């Protein structure tokens, strides 16, 4: 997919590292003007600076996607820097592995807060901005294969990713008439720090070992023979941000090396 993204103003949340960082770098390399958004403002600034150092366009924004005012400020920063908002990747997320019967009410709320409410808030605020501009736009949510099938030991995470898929479909139905495409990317098992858990509040005895076991167990049956690297998601991200995907909406694209075959 060689289409340039020159002039497109794109926000990527959770772009301070991992999949979001790789997608943001790939989008910037195609000429897009990036807003690198993350709750870790220092990490976001580092990614933005290194994109600028290689001739790309990027600003950093500190955001907590679970806070509406913070999401509004992020969108305001993107519009102030790049003049508009064309595309948002709602990619920020957290994960936790825990046996089904051990999931607490608090675990559920924390995972759903970022992966569910955070996606809803950023979708709403971005779509409001796109409607004001009046020339359509693209919303892309990072869901997961765990949003297409329920997985153990991450039932609450799976539920939060089903929520992201549902929000994708509902918004696609609501805003197709406004030329706003809404799609999702469903990665499989991607080697990122997420597997070490980003949320130190979740760390408990044995968690890292359990995460490693889960990573290895999930990786065992991948048809292409290896877990994903963050870079494996870049091609589909560029496609969904480009006019090549203009006739596609409401879809959740599985990019998992061959784990879930639907």
Instruction: Confirm or reject binding of residue 51 to ligand NAD (CB under 6 A).
Output: no
- Should residue 114 be labelled a site residue for ligand NAD when binding is judged by CB under 6 A? yes
Strands of 57-62's sheet in order across = 57-62, 33-38, 9-13, 87-90, 137-142, 180-187, 252-255
Binding status of residue 240 toward ligand NAD by CB under 6 A: no
Positive or negative, the CA dihedral 221, 224, 225, 226 is: negative
Q: Which of residues 120-149 bind ligand NAD (CB under 6 A)?
A: 142, 144
- Which lies closer to ligand NAD via its Cβ, residue 136 or residue 193? 193
Q: Applying CB under 6 A, which part among 24-32, 46-54, 89-97, 201-209 lies near ligand NAD?
A: 89-97
Q: What is d(CA 7, CA 29) in angstroms, rounded to the nearest whole number?
A: 12
| Residue 110 · residue 201 · CB < 8 Å | yes
Do the Cβ atoms of 107 and 96 come closer than 8 Å?
A: yes
Active site residues: 157
Cα–Cα distance measured from residue 34 to residue 81, given in angstroms and rounded to the nearest whole number? 9
Binding window for ligand NAD (CB under 6 A); candidates: 36-44, 100-108, 131-139, 238-246:
36-44
- Residue from the set 2, 55, 134, 193 that interacts with ligand NAD by CB under 6 A: 193
Residue numbers of the site for ligand NAD (CB under 6 A)?
13-14, 16-20, 38-40, 43, 63-66, 91-95, 114, 118, 142, 144, 187, 189-190, 192-194, 198
């Amino acid at each position: 997919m060689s289409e340039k993204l020159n002039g497109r103003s794109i926000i990527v949340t959770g772009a301070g590292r991992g999949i979001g960082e790789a997608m943001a770098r790939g989008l910037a390399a195609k000429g897009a003007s990036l807003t690198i958004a993350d709750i870790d403002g220092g990490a976001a600034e580092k990614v933005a600076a290194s994109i600028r150092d290689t001739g790309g366009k990027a600003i950093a924004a500190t955001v907590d996607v679970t806070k509406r005012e913070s999401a509004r400020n992020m969108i305001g920063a993107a519009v102030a820097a790049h003049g508009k908002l064309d595309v948002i990747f709602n990619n920020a997320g957290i994960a936790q592995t825990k046996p089904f019967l051990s999931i607490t009410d608090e675990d559920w709320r924390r995972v759903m807060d970022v992966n569910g409410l955070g996606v809803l808030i950023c979708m709403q605020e971005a779509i409001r901005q796109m409607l004001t501009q009046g020339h359509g736009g693209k919303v892309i949510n990072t869901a997961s294969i765990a949003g297409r099938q329920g997985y153990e030991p991450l039932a609450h995470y799976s539920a939060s990713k089903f929520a992201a898929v549902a929000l994708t479909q509902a918004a696609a139905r609501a805003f197709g008439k406004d030329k706003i495409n809404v799609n999702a990317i469903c990665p499989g098992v991607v080697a990122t720090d997420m597997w070490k858990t980003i949320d130190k509040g979740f760390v408990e005895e044995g968690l890292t070992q359990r995460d490693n076991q889960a990573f290895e167990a999930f990786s065992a049956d991948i048809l292409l023979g290896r877990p994903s690297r963050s870079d494996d998601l870049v091609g589909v991200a560029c496609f969904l941000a480009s006019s090549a995907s203009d006739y596609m909406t409401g879809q959740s694209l599985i990019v998992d090396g061959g784990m879930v075959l639907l």
